[in-house]
Amino acid sequence: PSASANLPCGEQWHLDANLGRQYAKVSGDYNPIHLYPWSARFFGFKSQIIHGMWSKARCITALAPIVGEAFELSVSFRKPVFLPCDVSFHHQPE
Are 85 and 15 in contact by the 8 Å Cβ rule? The answer is yes
* Percentage, residues of the chain above pLDDT 70: 88
Q: For residue 87, is it within any domain? A: no
So what's the pLDDT on residue 33?
98
* DSSP code per residue over 20-54: HHHHHHHH----GGGT-HHHHHTTT-SS-B--HHH
Rounded CA gap, 12 and 4, in Å? Answer: 20
So what's the pLDDT on residue 10?
78
What's CA 44's distance to the chain center, in Å? 20
- Could you say which residues of the chain have pLDDT below 50? 1-5, 7
So what's the pLDDT on residue 82?
98
Q: For residue 6, is it within any domain? A: no
Query: Counting Cβ atoms within 10 Å, is residue 61 exposed (0-12), middle (13-18) or buried (19+)?
Result: exposed
Can you give the pTM of this predicted structure? 0.80
Range of the domain at 28: 16-77
So what's the pLDDT on residue 14?
97
Domain count, the chain: 1
